[in-house]
Amino acid sequence: MTTTQKFTYDDLYSERSEDAPARTVAHAKYDFAVAYPAPESLPMYGLIDALKAKVDSDGEQVAREMAYYPHALGSPELREFTSEKLKADRNIDVDPDGIVLTAGSGEAIALLIQAITNPGDVVLTEQYVYGGTLTQLRKFQADVVGTPIDEQGIIPEELEETIKRLTAEGRKPKWLYTIPENQNPTGSTLPESRRRQILDICHKYSMPIMEDDCYIDLRFDGEVQPSFRALDDSGIVMYVASYSKLIAPGLRMGYFVASPELTQRALSFKHGSGPNQFAAYAITGFLKEGLQKHRETFNPILKEKSASMQKGFADHFAGTGATLSVPQGGCYAWLTLPEGADITAIRDEVFEGGVGYLAGPNFAPDGTGQNMARLCFAFETPEKNYDGMALLAQLFRKHGVM
């Protein structure tokens, strides 16, 4: 029997469900709105070769493991490699069983949020912060509050003031989320001295820190700073990182490290088994041989791309009062026009005109930042970064914001 009358779910949806149409991403001619690493540095054949080498050398093991669902914590070999990488790159001591691999670090963040957040709990973040985490915090009904930042990231004194003010209002913050290295969206890196101050403050107010180290491998200038987790192994730090920006988001591989008790709580929200085993073989094999070489390939590319965007800005925004942050790594620079210049309202027109960006309010817990935007310098070519900045300045003038 074929029934043509449309079945309706109108009275059947769960209370918690929301309309969430699958997002189709439109790309502007000069696409500064994306969050991708440099496409030309994706090691496609490196990954394929690594996978093939694994199948050739350990075929029986691969066949057996592929026939099972992956370990709940994810591939033992990739966890072992990640443990060594964390020691070498971040001076973090954690054994492979203390690492949970996830489908991108987005899943890691979601599991940890659910383990420590009740509806209404106050969670602090940087004043402007990665929109994906902001969305997840809101989904789990956290009361998200931004703490003031400058070009070096969170200002510790202001953090303590914010905690005191909220506590006096009866909204004592429960925990802090931060991206201390090559921050998304501002590109800042938090100096070690501030990290130590923030740890002291967090201990004083019994507030855990979720450290999101997503951009740790993407550094082309300046010095990497010690991670919160390396400075403090008391358990107060939840550490999250990803293979998305180091290799490719399409692999969907991230991870977290937390205290054993918290890890168990977080795992209670996990559905099914660990992440894709095939991707894990490819990542492990590729990085074991080629991590350093890969970094040496893509970081100079990022440096050149960042420099061309900076040059485009210097040549075409001079004398306008606009500023562009100067990142030492990551994928993003943060554009700020003088107060009152609303580049959020004209985003669609500027997109039609050829330049895509993500406007400030996408990153602001309080919805401010209408005169700000995140520009991704990692995706387009150096030439397009320069030309796109020239066109952006032209479009801002045309729309009367500059």
- Out of 30, 32, 128, 130, the only residue in the binding site for ligand PLP (CB under 6 A) is 130
> Is residue 214 close enough to count as binding ligand PLP by CB under 6 A?
yes
Binding region for ligand PLP (CB under 6 A) out of 16-24, 52-60, 83-91, 99-107: 99-107
Binding region for ligand PLP (CB under 6 A) out of 103-111, 256-264, 353-361, 376-384: 103-111
Between 294 and 374, whose beta carbon lies closer to ligand PLP? 374
Owner of token pair 């100079």:
300
Looking at the chain, how many residues does it have? 402
- Out of 28, 34, 35, 218, the only residue in the binding site for ligand PLP (CB under 6 A) is 35
Between 244 and 310, whose beta carbon lies closer to ligand PLP? 244
Min separation Cβ 340 and ligand PLP, Å:
29
> Is residue 212 close enough to count as binding ligand PLP by CB under 6 A?
yes
Antiparallel, parallel or unpaired: β 237-242 and 209-212 = parallel
Owner of token pair 């189709």:
24
DSSP label at residue 356:
E
Cα(184)–Cα(365) distance, rounded to whole angstroms?
14
Compute CA distances 242 → 52, 109, 131, 256, 292, whole Å. Answer: 23, 11, 16, 9, 17
CB 92 within 8 A of CB 256: no
Q: Nearest-CB residue to ligand PLP?
A: 104
Per-residue contact track with ligand PLP, 347 to 366, x per CB under 6 A? --------------------
> Is residue 191 close enough to count as binding ligand PLP by CB under 6 A?
no
The alpha helices in 34-91, defined as continuous H runs, are 44-57, 59-67, 76-90
**Residue-wise burial string across 232-256, b where 16 or more C-beta atoms lie within 10 A, e elsewhere:** beeebbbbbbbbbbbbbbebbbbbb
Min separation Cβ 244 and ligand PLP, Å:
3
In single-letter form, the type of residue at position 243 comes to Y
Min separation Cβ 116 and ligand PLP, Å:
17
Token pair, residue 227, equals 């991670």
Return the residues of window 57-86 that contact ligand PLP according to CB under 6 A. none
Cα(143)–Cα(147) distance, rounded to whole angstroms?
13
> Is residue 375 close enough to count as binding ligand PLP by CB under 6 A?
no
- Out of 244, 310, 325, 362, the only residue in the binding site for ligand PLP (CB under 6 A) is 244
> Is residue 335 close enough to count as binding ligand PLP by CB under 6 A?
no
Binding site for ligand PLP (CB under 6 A): 35, 104-106, 130, 132, 179, 184, 212, 214, 242, 244, 249, 254
